[in-house]
Amino acid sequence: MGRKMGPTPAKTSKKKNRGRREVSSSCTPKMAAAAESKAGKSPEELLCAAAEYGDAEAITGLLAEGADPTHFDASGLTPLMHAAAGGHAAVVQLLLDAGAPWNALSPTGNSAGDLASDSATFDLLLDHALRSELVLGTVARRQAGPADSPAESYLESRVSFSEERVMDADSKAVMMEWERPLMEAHARAVCSGGKVLNVGFGMGLVDTAIQRYEPEEHTIVEAHPEVYARMLKLGWGEKKNVKVVFGRWQDVLPQLGSYDGIFFDTYGEYYEDMREFHQHLPKLLKPGGIYSYFNGLCGDNAFFHVVYCQLVALELANLGYSTQFIPLPVKDCLSEEIWNGVKQKYWQLDTYHLPVCQAESEPEQ
């Protein structure tokens, strides 16, 4: 569990990166056949070489003979990464069908999708990753019991506050000042008059921004006792249009109404928790209302992030909501120093994708 939730890679190569460029893909299949001598090479090494050169025939043969598609070669790359980097879509498909993990990471933290050199290969990997995550999520939900419920320990532990951040007891950042422009953009997205709900106060950045739009009613749900105490100390309990609700959103749902704008940004919860929150949107969001959430899912890997943007959009679409992602450059908000003393660098991408979700319009009669 970190500031933001997301999947963990299934496998990571332990190898250190040895050079800037990770793969070379300039050979043709014929050159590959000529260049690769079978003598002295393991089936997996041959598989990586054939993947690099896009030799689908060799791949089919090697897989049929039992070559392992999950293998990492000496430079820490898998056959799938080689094939993706070479833009060999047919080979990528063969390897995926044989069980090659889409979420394996190279020594520099790249997955096959990050290395894909053309849109056909990228789309294949994205489609496969989405389907895998959908299936895995369904299986995990079927198997989950009460012991799987997260976040309890965060809510029971101490947090510390400074101008720049709120930290948990494990030196992980609950919220950081660099996110202020993002929170201001989220407030702009969800404030169009009427009633606004924000779940998760943190540093109060989004709530401060929401207040500037003078909503008719501004409800804030916060579950951590120390964050709640600080909110009250800062006067949030006395603002005319503000209603502060203390408790986990899961527990205080009956106290909530319906809103014209909703923002969701909790800490220490999993993707599944946000997914569960989304199941309540049809009750919480008024027709025509706007919903947005902090989109920190897999903020340390560009491809995983795309997968999770698409996954959430798909799941919201199943509930009848369309999602648009507004790209916001964040490179300038981030410097290495801001992470000093923070255990987990939860965001490492140059662009933030701000989600704007709305109920899909009724089909015309």
Ligand X SMILES: C[S@@+](CC[C@H](N)C(=O)[O-])C[C@H]1O[C@@H](n2cnc3c(N)ncnc32)[C@H](O)[C@@H]1O
**Smallest gap, in angstroms, from Cβ of residue 142 to ligand X?**
23
Closest to ligand X by CB, 53 or 154: 154
**How many CB atoms are closer than 10 A to CB 333?**
17
**Smallest gap, in angstroms, from Cβ of residue 46 to ligand X?**
48
**Smallest gap, in angstroms, from Cβ of residue 287 to ligand X?**
25
Q: Which residue's Cβ lies closest to ligand X?
A: 202
Q: Which of 202, 201, 207 is CA-nearest to residue 239?
A: 207
**Smallest gap, in angstroms, from Cβ of residue 173 to ligand X?**
8
**Smallest gap, in angstroms, from Cβ of residue 326 to ligand X?**
17
- Record the tokens describing residue 164, joined without a space: 């720049």
Report d(CA 145, CA 66) in Å as an integer: 37
Closest to ligand X by CB, 224 or 278: 224
- Record the tokens describing residue 119, joined without a space: 């849109």
Closest to ligand X by CB, 113 or 200: 200
Closest to ligand X by CB, 13 or 219: 219
Q: How many CA atoms lie within 13 A of 31 on its CB side?
A: 8
Closest to ligand X by CB, 96 or 151: 151
Closest to ligand X by CB, 121 or 211: 211
CB 167 within 8 A of CB 2: no
Closest to ligand X by CB, 7 or 296: 296
Contacts by 337-343 with C-beta closer than 8 Å and gap 24+? 338/164, 338/176, 338/177, 338/178, 341/171, 342/165, 342/167, 342/171, 342/172, 342/173, 342/176, 343/170, 343/171, 343/172
User: What residues line the site for ligand X (CB under 6 A)?
Assistant: 151, 174-175, 183, 199-206, 221-224, 227, 248-250, 265-269
For the chain, the first-to-last Cα distance in angstroms comes to 46
Closest to ligand X by CB, 156 or 360: 156
**Smallest gap, in angstroms, from Cβ of residue 163 to ligand X?**
13
Q: Scanning the structure block, which residue is given the tokens 């916060």?
A: 222
Closest to ligand X by CB, 115 or 227: 227
CB 284 within 8 A of CB 262: yes
**Smallest gap, in angstroms, from Cβ of residue 201 to ligand X?**
5
Contacts by 275-280 with C-beta closer than 8 Å and gap 24+? 275/137, 275/315, 276/250, 277/199, 277/249, 278/312, 278/315, 278/316, 278/319, 279/319, 280/253
**Smallest gap, in angstroms, from Cβ of residue 188 to ligand X?**
13
> Strands 351-359 and 217-222: what pairing?
unpaired
Report d(CA 166, CA 204) in Å as an integer: 11
